[in-house]
Amino acid sequence: MQMNRIVPALGASAALVAVVGLAAQPGRAAVTTYAAYIQDASGKQLGVATFVGVDTGGVQVRIDVTGLPPGLHGLHIHENGSCNPLRDTTGKVTPFGAAGGHFDPQGTGHHLGPDGAGHGGDFPNLVVDEAGHGRTTFYTRRLSVLSGPTDIVGRSIIIHANEDNYTDTPPNGGSGVREACGEIGALHG
């Protein structure tokens, strides 16, 4: 699937600046921004994740969702840019299963957390308050929105049901079922 990439020009619209929280500065390169519109398994939109390329490398990630159960939720970039369900050979359906496994561009085969030496797609747990609202902003140097092996454009972001313990036991840190998903692509204006 070919994804359109948005490269806002210097002097971007006020709406775009408000979304990414960054203003263009004279003499600086344009900011590259992508988004994932996060939905639950019924297709209800819960919020958005934005991914802003940082000129020194890496990505600033901002997530704002509502409608999730309170608590900590594992949060990961997954290999494929599809939020479709996947049915196995026994007929069992995995919500958002077509997203594939955790994105591991370095081929570590391990799940060691956002600051560990494991999957590059491991993010900090998302904290959801009693009203069902989760919001976070963080930076990762292990991923990119530029073409290359760490590029996340055309992949997906998954919010899991449980807290991630950032180990390989149980598999994938015990984050549990996939509660919400968004395909990373063009930012809708």
> Any idea where the domains of the chain sit in the sequence?
33-186
Rounded Cα distance, 132 and 85, in Å: 24
Peptide bond into 105 cis (omega under 30): no
Which SS3 state, helix, strand or coil, does residue 17 take? helix
**Residues noted as catalytic:** 76, 78, 102, 110, 119, 122, 160, 178
Contacts of 40 (CB under 8 A, 6+ apart): 46, 67, 179, 180
The confidence score (pLDDT) of residue 172 equals 65
Assess contact for 182 and 49: CB atoms under 8 A: yes
Chain position carrying tokens 């069902």: 132
pLDDT of 119 above 60: yes
- Tell me the mean pLDDT in the region 84-106: 94
Average pLDDT (35-63) is 96
For residue 189, what pLDDT is reported?
A: 75
**Residue 168 has what pLDDT?**
78
- Quick check: 143 pLDDT over 60? yes
CATH tag for 33-186 (out of 2.70.98.10, 3.40.630.40, 2.40.420.20, 2.60.40.200):
2.60.40.200
Residue 180 has pLDDT above 90, yes or no: yes
Q: Which residues of 141-174 are buried (b: 16+ CB within 10 A; e: fewer)?
A: ebbbbeeeebbbbbbbbbbbebbbbbbeeeebbb
pTM of the predicted model over 0.95: no
**If pLDDT is split at 50, 70 and 90, which confidence band does 6 have?**
very low
Q: Name residues whose C-beta falls within 8 Å of residue 43's C-beta, 6 or more positions apart in sequence.
A: none
Taking 80 as the threshold, does the pLDDT of residue 147 lie above it?
Answer: yes
Q: How far apart are the first and last CA of the chain?
A: 21
- Tens of pLDDT, residues 71-89: 999 999 999 999 999 998 9
Q: What is the mean pLDDT of residues 91-105?
A: 94
d(CA 120, CA 57): 14
For residue 109, what pLDDT is reported?
85
